[in-house]
Amino acid sequence: MIQAILFAAALQTAPAPAPPPAIDCADADHSAFNFWIGDWDVSATGTETVVARSVISSTAGGCAIEEDYRQTVGPGGVATTYHGVSFSAFDARRGGVWRQFYMDSGGSVTVFEGGLRGDAMVLEAPGRGGGVQRMTVSPQADGSVRQRGESTTDGGASWTPGYDFTYRRR
């Protein structure tokens, strides 16, 4: 009983923990990927055929970007139902890098890391067999955004092209 009274007294006299400091995610580092925010029709670069829709929005009080990617046309024009979701954020605590957590309807999960190179967001992730996957997302002069994927298995001496999409506002 005495222990309970002492514990209750300690709770009453202990100061409340301070709330975490507010972060202003409107700075240049946190908003570097905002050019990708929008409701987009996605086509293979160089074509007008829409193969997917991607809705990319600001979330977590402007501190992160959420992507909802739904592809209905696959390679060769074959119907598909591919769905991918990603969350991207600037991570000041890990050396000031951008990180993206991507997962898809095939059960794949990929964690990318990188940052701005010029006007483009360049993110890399470990690939199969010790290789590296690279995703480059870059704003275009006409207001569209181009997203390219490529991979390397030789430490970056050569890169193999993967996908190449152009995002146009709906």
Q: What is the pLDDT of residues 161-170, one digit of tens each?
A: 999 999 999 9
Supply the pTM of this predicted model: 0.85
Q: Of 6 and 150, which is predicted with more confidence?
A: 150
Q: Please report the pLDDT score of residue 161 as a whole number.
A: 97
| DSSP-derived secondary structure letter, 1 | -
Q: Which residues of 148-165 are buried (b: 16+ CB within 10 A; e: fewer)?
A: bebbbeeeeeeeeeeeeb
CB-based contact 158:134 (threshold 8 Å): no
CA pair distance 83, 95, nearest whole angstrom: 31
CA pair distance 67, 56, nearest whole angstrom: 4
Token digits for 79?
């119907």
CB-based contact 113:126 (threshold 8 Å): no
**What is the average pLDDT score of the chain?**
91
